[in-house]
Amino acid sequence: MVSEQPRTRGVYAISVAAEIVGMGQQNLRLYERNGLVEPGRTDGGTRRYSENDLTTLRRIAELLALGLNLSGIRLVLALEIENTALKTELSHRARRPT
């Protein structure tokens, strides 16, 4: 069995995740349907949210408060992921000896 990183391992049921981030369970289902968050699933199909998922849900709440719609939020989240990947790549390049 492959061990997962602690922040990516799904441990929270939808009811617990919703309570932690202060959202309704229906909102979490909606965000999943719209591709904003992808919780893990148990063998039986039960959603399991990770710490990273909770961070994403909090970010979604921030963006909603700023007036973005779900399409705008999807774009912002994708750009943030791409930006993080590019920063990581640049830092790795900077550490390589020339």
Query: Per-residue pLDDT tens for 30-47?
Result: 999 999 999 999 999 999
Q: Three-state DSSP class for 86?
A: helix
Q: What is the fold, at CATH topology level, of the domain defined by 14-95?
A: Multidrug-efflux Transporter Regulator; Chain: A; Domain 2 (1.10.1660)
Please compute the mean of the pLDDT values over residues 3-20 and round it to a whole number: 87
Domain assignments of the chain as residue spans, ordered by start: 14-95
Contacts of 31 (CB under 8 A, 6+ apart): 37, 57, 60, 70
Other beta carbons less than 10 A from residue 40's beta carbon: 16
Tell me: the pLDDT tens digits for 64-85? Answer: 999 999 999 999 999 999 999 9
Residues 73/60, Cβ–Cβ less than 8 Å: yes
72 contacts 34 by C-beta, under 8 angstroms = no
**pLDDT class of 95 with cuts at 50, 70, 90:** confident
